[in-house]
Chains A and B, each alone.
Chain A
């Protein structure tokens, strides 16, 4: 009996590009991609529907929930409010690029340890956002709760909560999310 090999990555025949499609090239999680997209395609839909990187989630599709947070050009953004074409030449990191099941990113490990989720839908966005938040604090970017705008920024509970306010968790796992981030910030 022969067993058909199950491809670890599904390889789909590229659908023929729609009329008016435009080419773009970008690097996602270190892998180079060349695609042709209808100009209406958002970065989020490119990731999920064209490249099958479904770790990044679609919650609201209007910038109101943070489920689609990815890191593009070193900055966290909402992939739902960005056209794929705006990212021609960019480097993008998604949750799939941060860690793997056997080599978790420290924030992924901390979310598991502290139970920073219930249903898990918001989690990829929370973790991508948190990775960037710690970078923003290190870079001295101020927030709404920073008392002194000219002093170095610190990853206090109040700072982390304010900076993470663009990521909604419908399950209300906020206090555990804050603990997970605090542990990594202190490490």
Chain B
């Protein structure tokens, strides 16, 4: 690790000001992604602002009947919350499908959303990578791309967003509440939170430098059958090759988002509308613009089959 200084911020605005005011500063939440990347010198912050004392660790009802989840709520606490298990089961299912018990105890809601890609060339500092070193090229394009994205990519980067929780948040139409260094708050829809890579794959989210996530908001429950299905190389403790988050209503209509296939949780209105017609109709729309590689084109067929299994699971017995 490169040397850095450390502080514990006392308020959200002070934390945002501390990061905004110092180039090279970053927030530290659980540390399970950031410290991993710092050990590899992929991330080299010069100052860490620990957010554990900001009292962002509560889950509370919102005025409209939804929930507000503090940015520092652990993945375990969010998955285990009785209201989440009852009304937003797809979120519990997605969280417990990810990482390990130890990691989920430490990982936080904001940190999970902001976890970085698992592209093997992003991790290998000897390789060119536009995300890690802008302008250096992309080793994955001519390389081993089995795990990488099939849609939403660019000529500069074909990495996936690797997380599970955000795929569930996408079908739930969640919002991301933030505060900046001047104390100004705003809400970013999850749909607009993760960026497409374009020519700037190192710019991954809608957050401005120093902007602190304070909470994730869930709209009022929409009912329906909640399913998260994850396909991976081993049965536990592995990232998704393909995952499906779905909320399916008794009449067969609903919402669906895919993980492991794109630089962000992948969902479209056209694909949602096709749900009553079955899995093939949905993925024909969701992946109409796919640009897979020879290594990863299997993901499109796998997405169709995983969704078919999801729909079968949601069908009333």
Contacts and interface: CB of A to CB of B under 8 A. Distances in A.
Interface residues of B, number: 38
Interface string B1-37: 1011110100000000000000000001011100110
Chain A at the B interface: SS class: loop
A179 interface: no
Contacts of A150: 82, 85-86
Nearest to B105: A75
Interface string A78-93: 1001110110100000
A144 B236 contact: yes
Interface stretch (B89-97, B209-217, B288-296, B304-312): B89-97
B236 A40 contact: no
12 contacts: A22-B6, A39-B5, A63-B36, A77-B102, A78-B106, A81-B106, A83-B48, A129-B101, A132-B101, A133-B101, A150-B85, A166-B103
Contacts of B5: 20, 39
A143 B93 CA distance: 8
Given A82-B31, A142-B79, A77 B100 contact: no
Interface string A133-166: 1001001111110100110000000000011111
B92 A149 contact: yes
B196 interface: no
Interface of A: 20, 22, 38-40, 42, 61-63, 66, 69, 75-78, 81-83, 85-86, 88, 129, 132-133, 136, 139-144, 146, 149-150, 162-167
Contact of B100 (A38, A40, A62, A166): A166
Given A83-B6, A167-B100, 9 more contacts: A40-B4, A77-B106, A82-B35, A142-B85, A142-B96, A144-B97, A149-B86, A149-B93, A165-B236
Given A75-B76, A144-B96, A149-B92, A82 B106 contact: yes
Nearest to A41: B1
B301 interface: no
Contacts of A164: 101
Contacts of A78: 32, 102-103, 106
B80 interface: yes
A27 to B, nearest CB: 17
A62 B38 CA distance: 11
B204 interface: no
B253 interface: no
